[in-house]
Amino acid sequence: MIWSLPSALFLLAAALPLIIFLHSLKPRGLKIGTTTLFLWERVLRERPLSTRLGWLLRKNLLLILQLLSAIVLIAALADPALLHFGSQSGNMVVVLDLSASMKAKGKNGSRFDAARQEFLALIDGLAAEQRMLVIGASTQPRLLAPFTGDKRRLRELGRNLEATEAPGRIKDAILFAHAFLKRGGADRVIVISDGAFVGAEEFAKPAAHLRFIDIAGSKEKNGEIVNLAIVGFEVRRQPERPSSAEIMVHLRNFSATALRAPLTLSLGEKVLLRENIDIGAGDRRVDGAFGDRR
């Protein structure tokens, strides 16, 4: 079980003593001794334990109900949720982002390396009755594996997959994935992407049948996510120069702030272009260079 707001449980430390204190302020009845009271006191002392406990509960029933109500209300405020229960037992339709932006590298490797680890973790978490279907999101949505519970086969697929040099139609792949969900069932679509596509904000919101695993970029000093990616790569041959080609790179800034970053294009050991580029928030640009195949 997990708690969405575990700090709410600290209210128990304050609420329960307060209820007991307020209950102790309740006025008590006046006890007056009579000549026959000693007979009843002897009977009460000789009552069995279960009878005395029942009397104790009846006498303090209001206090007990108040304490139980406080515990239930505070526990509800902490928003508990069960793991691996209910909707978690449905099948998974996994959408893997194979677009060029997933090749962007950080301190711990490329974004696709991180996506691969998330994919393998999903495979490890498959229950015995669960099945997984895998869709690759590149220039076109592509079915990589039908519904299967064969973890060995899925792991082999994950180890062999690589990101492409082309832009990805991630939104189309997500819509395509929803076609495999059983109506009224517990199946879910799980998207593993860096969010470098138009409309990503629509799928980042929590939903019953959709989970978005964000393979985000690095962080700036102010804590904002940097998501500058190469979303397209094209090589054009020059008819007048058969031994050379024009290399075009399509860049897009998915961050909320303008960025300045280094860009290097190389062919083998030869550096074709090295410059610092400036790109505004949400903007795109195309840079190119000529390469000689000799």
Q: How do the domains of the chain map onto residue ranges?
A: 2-81, 88-214, 228-292
CATH number for the region 228-292 comes to 2.60.40.10
Find, among 104, 18, 33, 30, the residue nearest to 67 by Cα: 18
What's the pLDDT at 218? 47
Asked if the model's pLDDT at residue 219 lies above 50, the reply is no
Adjacent-strand bridge partners of 110: 105
What's the pLDDT at 221? 40
What's the pLDDT at 239? 67
What's the pLDDT at 92? 93
What's the rounded Cα separation, in Å, for the pair 210 and 215?
16
What's the pLDDT at 80? 64
**pLDDT over 70 for what percent of the chain?**
69
Asked if the model's pLDDT at residue 225 lies above 90, the reply is no
Q: Is 86 left (phi over 0), alpha (psi -120 to 50) or beta?
A: left
Which amino acid makes up residue 40? Answer: W
Give helix 61-77 / helix 49-59 axis angle, nearest 10°.
70
Asked if the model's pLDDT at residue 85 lies above 70, the reply is no
What's the pLDDT at 148? 93
Higher per-residue confidence, 229 vs 48: 229
Q: At the fourth CATH level, which superfamily is domain 88-214?
A: von Willebrand factor, type A domain (3.40.50.410)
Query: Under 8 Å CB-to-CB from 217, ≥6 apart: which residues?
Result: 104, 106, 111, 194, 225, 226, 227, 228, 229, 255
Asked if the model's pLDDT at residue 223 lies above 50, the reply is no
pLDDT in tens, 47-64: 554 555 565 666 677 777
Find, among 95, 97, 92, the residue nearest to 194 by Cα: 97
Asked if the model's pLDDT at residue 8 lies above 90, the reply is no
pLDDT in tens, 109-148: 888 999 999 999 999 999 888 999 999 998 889 999 999 9
Confidence of residue 84 (pLDDT cuts 50, 70, 90): very low
What's the rounded Cα separation, in Å, for the pair 157 and 294?
36
Query: How much is the average pLDDT of 149-173?
Result: 89
Least confident span in 52-56, 77-81, 92-96, 259-263 = 52-56
What's the pLDDT at 238? 64
- When the pLDDT of each residue in the chain is averaged and rounded to a whole number, the result is 76
Least confident span in 40-49, 99-108, 210-219, 239-248 = 40-49
What is the strand order of the sheet 132-137 is part of?
141-148, 132-137, 92-97, 188-193, 210-214
**Angle in degrees, CA 104, 107, 108, rounded to 5:** 85
Asked if the model's pLDDT at residue 211 lies above 70, the reply is yes
- Location of structure tokens 């002897």: 42
Asked if the model's pLDDT at residue 103 lies above 90, the reply is no
